[in-house]
């Protein structure tokens, strides 16, 4: 493939050996090449600085430990994160919801589904008592047989866009528009809410500090990789960014 870093070629055999580690990537070959290029850049920098370690991974870890420094998250940063994301620290929160799903399939145009969904939603605005009846008639979800009822839901049980809506809707309220998810179009109603209790900051401060420190470290490593890539003579491939499994 003619890929080299600072004049040293990365052989095709090395790329083939790396490929199995990236089968779930959008482009496994491209990801494999990028990973090897970044690893080579890092090892060259470790050589330049005279950094030793147990094997290549150990040398890269030692390089990061020496060259990438981030401050610990302070109490103010932890308190701000806690205050801005109360849903992450709420225990016992749940909703009981029901929906009507208009599933997207290759044989049914999206616009036809949308027209049908809008017509059913318009009917429910006038006659909300018909929800269960219309769910049984129209919903492509198994819950249609029980009037669209999904039972009690906690955070993390549904796709993010559905979760964001049901945990925002007031009790008894019908969503004023169709919700689009990967499954199709939904008419959504929240039947009951249990607010839950917010865990005190002191109980989760260490967890927040660790999360913020890891985020800061990943940003710092990303910036460090970009600097090293900018200095290196890389031929045969263009790195669009320094995304790598090395820092995940």
How confident is the prediction along the chain (248 residues), in pLDDT tens digits per residue? 578 888 889 888 998 898 888 888 888 888 888 999 999 999 999 999 999 888 889 999 999 999 998 988 999 999 999 999 887 888 888 999 999 999 988 888 888 999 999 999 999 999 999 999 999 999 999 999 999 999 999 988 999 999 999 999 999 999 999 999 999 999 999 999 988 888 899 999 999 999 999 999 999 999 999 999 988 888 887 775 444 444 44
Question: 33 and 237 in contact (C-beta within 8 Å)?
Answer: yes
Q: Is 230 helix (H, G, I), strand (E, B) or coil?
A: helix
Bridge partners (DSSP) of residue 188 are 99
DSSP summary character for residue 148: T
Treating both helix axes as pointing N-terminal to C-terminal, what angle do 55-67 and 201-231 enclose, rounded to 10 degrees? 110
- The pLDDT, as a whole number, for residue 248 is 45
Question: 130 and 121 in contact (C-beta within 8 Å)?
Answer: no
Bridge partners (DSSP) of residue 9 are 4
- The pLDDT, as a whole number, for residue 1 is 52
Per-domain residue ranges of the chain: 4-73+203-247, 93-195
- The pLDDT, as a whole number, for residue 52 is 86
Residues 6+ apart with CB under 8 A from 148: 98, 99, 100, 131, 132, 135, 136, 139, 141
Distance CA 199, CA 93 (A): 11
Give the CATH class of 93-195.
Answer: alpha beta
Distance CA 116, CA 71 (A): 55
Say how many C-beta atoms besides its own lie within 10 A of residue 127's C-beta.
Answer: 11
Treating both helix axes as pointing N-terminal to C-terminal, what angle do 131-138 and 110-126 enclose, rounded to 10 degrees? 160
Q: Tokens at residue 28, please?
A: 């496994």
- The pLDDT, as a whole number, for residue 240 is 59
Distance CA 245, CA 18 (A): 12
Q: Tokens at residue 108, please?
A: 């049914």
């Amino acid at each position: 493939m003619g890929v080299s870093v600072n004049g040293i070629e990365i052989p095709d055999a090395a790329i083939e050996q790396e490929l199995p580690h990236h089968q779930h990537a959008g482009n496994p070959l491209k990801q494999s090449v990028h990973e090897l290029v970044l690893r080579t850049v890092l090892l060259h920098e470790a050589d330049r600085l005279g950094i030793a370690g147990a094997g290549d991974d150990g040398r890269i870890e030692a390089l990061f430990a020496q060259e990438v420094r981030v401050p610990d998250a302070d109490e103010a940063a932890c308190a701000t994160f806690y205050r801005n994301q109360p849903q992450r620290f709420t225990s016992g929160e749940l909703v009981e919801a029901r929906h009507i799903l208009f599933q997207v399939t290759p044989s049914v145009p999206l616009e036809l589904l949308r027209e049908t969904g809008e017509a059913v939603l318009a009917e429910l605005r006038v006659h909300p008592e018909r929800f269960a009846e219309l769910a049984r008639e129209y919903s492509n979800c198994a819950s249609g047989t029980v009037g669209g009822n999904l039972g009690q839901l906690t955070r993390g049980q549904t796709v993010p866009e559905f979760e964001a809506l049901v945990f925002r809707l007031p009790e008894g309220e019908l969503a004023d528009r169709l919700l689009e998810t990967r499954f199709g179009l939904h008419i959504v109603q929240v039947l009951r809410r249990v607010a839950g209790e917010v865990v005190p900051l002191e109980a989760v401060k260490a967890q927040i500090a660790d999360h913020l420190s890891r985020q800061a470290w990943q940003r710092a490593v990303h910036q460090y990789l970009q600097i090293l890539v900018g200095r290196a003579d890389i031929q045969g491939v263009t790195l669009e960014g320094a995304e790598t499994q090395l820092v995940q």
